[in-house]
Amino acid sequence: MRSIRSCSRARRSREGGYALISALVLAILYFALIELLLLDSARELSEARRFRARIVAETLAENAVELAALEIVTNKSAEGTAEDWQGKMSSEMRKNDQSGEFDIIALGTSGGITEARARVVVRGIVSGRDVRIRYTMHTSP
């Protein structure tokens, strides 16, 4: 009978309770860590999308400036728009024939999940076939 007394049920249930509590605590900590990782990765993904959209919008605006500047020597004004799967771009060029000064204003809008806009302004002067840019200004309206 001595061997039966050593296997007390009360002792087993206490040890089993500690194991169950520690397993639940570890599970809760594990799921909390996974949730933090998911939140962090979602935040980083949205930041990456915003960054990509901003770069695409700036590139589209710069391309629109180039389109407007194609005929800067021969034309007094030019306007253009274009659109593709990455977004839309539009530009407007105005030139003063007497002074040769010109302004090019271009807008770029990225397409996709996250939308961004960029604006590029180019100012300069045309003398004969010589084109000189005084300054450019890149903004995000």
CA distance 56 to 3: 79
Using one digit for the tens of pLDDT, what is the confidence trace for 15-40?
A: 668 888 999 999 999 999 999 999 99
- pLDDT at 4 (0 to 100): 54
What residues make up the domain containing 49? 5-139
For residue 9, pLDDT beyond 80: no
**pLDDT average, residue stretch 94-110:** 93
- pLDDT at 3 (0 to 100): 55
Q: Which residues fall within 8 angstroms of residue 42, CB to CB, at 6 or more apart?
A: none
**pLDDT average, residue stretch 49-72:** 93
- pLDDT at 16 (0 to 100): 63
Q: Please, which pLDDT band fits residue 73 given cuts at 50, 70 and 90? A: confident
In the predicted model, what is the mean pLDDT of the chain?
88
Total domain count for the chain? 1
The type of residue at 70 is: L
Alpha-carbon Rg for the chain in angstroms: 33
Q: Are 91 and 67 in contact (CB under 8 A)?
A: yes
- pLDDT at 8 (0 to 100): 52
**Which residue in the block uniquely carries the two structure tokens 């901003």?**
54
- pLDDT at 37 (0 to 100): 96
